[in-house]
Amino acid sequence: MKSKLALAIILATAATTAVSGPVEEQIRFRQSAYSFLGWNTGKIKKQVVDHPETFNKDYVAAAANAIAAVANSGLGELYGPGTDQGTGWKTTRLKPEFFQKKEEVTAAANTFNEAANDLARVAATGDINAIKTQFGKVGESCKGCHNLARIKE
């Protein structure tokens, strides 16, 4: 009996591992994805908000496309069970409540995805004022999810 249970556990673990990697790997990729987002939002902020005189349409469009690509990559896969505990590049800051608030978080994530795709569309036009407005919406959507799902240190 005990060995059957152990076997079941091993198989179940192996199954989740096969799909999305062990817990720590999910956390590590998640943190990498968000860091990369932060790099790109920083670039847009610099050229569109802080120093509009340096605005370069292609540079900003590339950053916006990178953000949209990450948004469309299916980050939900990196939020497997148990990933509120563990260490990726550093100890995870995912709130345990994430798993109880699934609907709210899904809504927040979808808001972000839509805002990011809209930003990529607007960035392609090179209209700096429209980009700035849409960039603000993306920033709000990042913040909305952080307020909901990310532990304040």
Partner 1 sequence: MKVTIHIWDLPLRLFHWLLAAAVVAAYITGKLGGNLIDWHGRIGALILGLLVFRIIWGFIGTTHARFINFFPTFSRLAAYLKGGWQGVGHNPLGALAVFALLADLAVLVSTGLFAGDDIAFEGPLFNLVDKALSDKLSGWHNLAFDLLAGLIAVHLAAIGFYRWVKKTNLVVPMVTGKKQVPKAVATSLTGGGALRFFTTVIISGAVVWGIWGGLEIIKPVESAPATVAKPSF
Which stretches of the chain bind partner 1, using CB under 8 A? Answer: 34, 38, 41-42, 44-45, 49, 132-133, 135-137, 139-140, 142-144, 146-147, 152-153
Q: What distance, in Å, lies between the first and last C-alpha atoms of the chain?
A: 44
Nearer Cβ to ligand HEC, position 1 or 80? 80
Distances 47 to 70, 84, 97 between C-alpha atoms, Å: 21, 35, 37
Q: What is the CA radius of gyration of the chain?
A: 18
What residues line the site for ligand HEC (CB under 6 A)? 27, 30-31, 34-35, 37-38, 41, 67, 89, 92-94, 105, 108-109, 112, 138, 141-142, 145-146, 149-150
d(CA 20, CA 31): 15
Contacts of 117 (CB under 8 A, 6+ apart): 68, 71, 72
Of the pair 7, 110, the CB lying nearest ligand HEC is at 110
Q: Which of ligand HEC, partner 1, none interacts with 147 (beta carbon under 5 to 8 A by kind)?
A: partner 1
Q: Are 75 and 30 in contact (CB under 8 A)?
A: yes
Among ligand HEC, partner 1, none, the one that 112 touches (CB under a kind-dependent 5 to 8 A) is ligand HEC
Picked from partner 1, ligand HEC, none, the partner binding residue 145 (CB below 5 to 8 A depending on kind) is ligand HEC
